[in-house]
Amino acid sequence: MSAGSAAAVPGTDPAPHFVLVPMMVAGHAGLMLDMARTLSGRGTLVTFVMTPLNLPRLGRAPSDDALPIRFLPLRFPCAEEGLPEGCKSLDALPGLGLLRNFNDACAMLRGTLVALLRDREGDAPPPSCVVSDACHPWTGGVPRELGVPRFSFDGFCAFSSLCMRPGADREGGKMNLHKIFEGVDDDDTRPVHVPAFPIDVEILRARSPGNFTGPGMKEFGQEIMAESARADVLVVNSFAEMEPMFVDAYEAALGKKVWTIGPLFLAPTMPLAATAEDANAVRCVSWLESMKPRTVVFVSFGSRVRSSLPQLVEIEHGLEATKRPFIWVVKPRNLAEFERWLYEDGFESCIGEAGLVIRDWAPQKAILSHLATGAFFMNEKLVVDVLRVGVPVGVKGAAQWGVEAEGVLATRQDVERAVAAVMDCGEEGSARRARAAELGRKAREAVVHGGSSFRNVALLIQHVQQRTSTRNPWIEKKPSDRR
């Protein structure tokens, strides 16, 4: 079987059965739905595990693609863990103080999932492997009970994971392993060097990632690290040409394979246009059609961030001052308070058609793939220091996962300056855009036939077939064999 095809052939082993368990939040689940389409498009059977309420939020059901994807619904135990009815997604929580309850409710799904997979409803073959979100440590026990390998899916890039995630010693990434912030005050403005890293990287304590530092989250972070270390393979939504040295370094630190199979949303089986019958999707795409190419600033800080009103006010004034069209996805800490301020300030009526304010959810793939989009606020360290396709916003600190963001981390001047710099038409701005365009070209090439991620998907499927076959042993391959 070649690396360009993985479909089952008559007379050979049957196509492998991948069970995908995404995290119950739109951004994470959307990526894994893209993976489901990619795998099923290559001749495998895919079971996609999700609560019924969450699937429609992804835009469309996997069955809409006419691909062999099975949807396995699981009832989410809200009441059992003290969650309000309907809080079946991380971004639906009324407050981040309920994160531990949410994670405990997810863990309660383990027994039900194992039983359903063992029963094998209909003519479904037994699972060949379980691919689950790295942020779902409870899923680690599912493949162990079923006697199949677990592939941990990491939506982060290898660069970020090498900094933060566990190595073979299970002590965490380079930042944790070397305790680089030990004895450093939170407000210390001196940069701290990250040791034993492929390149020179420095980071401020105040701007370091705040994951797993909120109340009750330390233990959860330790569970994630322990299960990541126990996983058979790590699958990353990145591509080899973007960060080759970090993929190799992360693989060496883990002592196991790291498969780059992204960017998943660019895979040919995934339509880039918005397909949901959602008012926000229709509104966004229609508005983008009226804009000039590469002029729109897209501002979205993910599903977990709940900004305070003072911070939202600063972002609003900063965006208005740029005099550039924008789409701003807002996740306020207090929606009623924000809506009251927005009405009294008259911001939306003032900006008119120059900007869109989207509450809660936006069709990110459709926005990012549209010709009108010219800039996107995202992970600073990789984009600025490594890929050199962005500029720092200049935040004074980092919000923690599990703690509601208080006060102002980025001022209106920070926002205005950053947007002006990244959209600059001068020599520096042109150079950034040229590098971004080159990375975009390489990303698109990676997922089509013959590309590095395309080949890795085929090799990953072959590995699963060899692992589950009684006739073939698990064949180890060197990093160079998968690129």
Residue 11 phi, psi dihedral angles, 5° rounding: 90, -5
Task: Catalytic residue, from 17, 28, 370, 463: name it.
Answer: 28
133 assigned to active site: yes
The Cα–Cα gap between 286 and 280 comes to 10
Average pLDDT over residues 300-309: 72
In the sheet where 129-133 sits, what is the strand order? 69-73, 45-50, 17-21, 129-133, 150-154, 233-236, 258-260
Asked, colleague to colleague, whether 17-268+448-482 and 279-440 share their fold, the answer is yes
Check if the beta carbon of residue 28 is closer than 8 Å to that of residue 57.
no
User: Do residues 422 and 429 lie in contact, with contact meaning Cβ atoms separated by under 8 Å?
Assistant: yes
Domain ranges (residues) in the chain: 17-268+448-482, 279-440
Rounded to 10°, the helix 412-422/427-447 angle is 70
Region 34-47: what's the mean pLDDT? 93
How many Å apart are CA 418 and CA 391, to the nearest integer? 6
217 pLDDT tier (thresholds 50, 70, 90): low
Catalytic hit among 34, 133, 154, 232:
133
Q: Is residue 121 predicted with pLDDT exceeding 90?
A: no
Q: Which of 256, 286, 281 is nearest to 271 (CA)?
A: 281
pLDDT of residue 274: 43
Residue 193 is among the residues annotated as catalytic for this protein: no
Q: Where are the alpha helices (DSSP H) in 242-386?
A: 244-254, 279-289, 309-322, 335-345, 347-351, 364-368, 380
pLDDT at 271: 45
Looking at the DSSP assignment, which residues form a beta bridge with residue 236? 154, 260
pLDDT band at 196 (very low <50, low <70, confident <90, very high): confident
The two structure tokens encoding residue 226: 């322990």
CB burial of 363-387 (b: ≥16 within 10 Å; e: otherwise) equals: bbbbbeebebbbbbbeebbbbbbbb
| Lowest-confidence pick of 12-26, 204-218, 365-379, 429-443 | 204-218
Joined together, the tokens standing for residue 182 give 């030990």
Q: Give 123-148 pLDDT, tens digit per residue.
A: 678 999 999 999 899 999 999 999 99
pLDDT classification of 191: cutoffs 50, 70, 90: confident
Bridge-based pairing of strands 355-359 and 326-330 is parallel
Paired with 296 in beta bridges are 373
Q: Given CATH 3.40.50.2000, say whether it is the number of domain 279-440.
A: yes
Architecture of the domain spanning 17-268+448-482: 3-Layer(aba) Sandwich (3.40)
Q: Quick one: tokens of 402?
A: 């599990």
User: Do strands 129-133 and 17-21 pair parallel, antiparallel, or not at all (unpaired)?
Assistant: parallel
